[in-house]
Amino acid sequence: MSNFDFRENNENESCYCKFSLTVDGHFNAESFKISSYPWAIHRIKDGKVIIDKWDDEFNAYCKDMLKYFNEINTPLTYKDFEVFR
């Protein structure tokens, strides 16, 4: 497995997640983790957080993201990540 850090050096908002790629650039689902903090801050900013259901919304978001990356059968590119910006 190959781990590498990708960071944008600009003022745009970011979603913080962690994952590794196989040597040939494919997504490793077992390594996938996403932080709820940046997700929640963005949702609060947009007025979209329902306090008693935030964990259900966050878990659904994580499942959608994991499903999306698992369905890509080619090495990942930057464009693959733009869907979740």
Query: Which pLDDT tens digit goes with each residue over 4-22?
Result: 555 555 566 555 788 888 9
CA distances to 39, 55, 58, 68 from 75, in Å? 26, 31, 26, 13
Query: What pLDDT does 39 receive?
Result: 82
Which of the 8 DSSP states describes residue 82? Answer: G
Residue 32, in any domain of the structure? yes
The answer to the question of residue 12 being in a domain is no
- Structural domain that includes position 46: 17-84
Per-position DSSP letters for 29-56, written without gaps between them: EEEEEE-HHHHHHHHHHTT---GGGHHH
Task: Report the domain count for the chain.
Answer: 1
44 assigned to some structural domain: yes
In a domain, 3, yes or no: no
Task: Using alpha carbons, list the distances in angstroms from residue 67 to 29, 52, 63.
Answer: 9, 25, 6
Whole-prediction pTM value? 0.68
Arithmetic mean of pLDDT over the chain: 80
Q: Is residue 4 part of a domain?
A: no
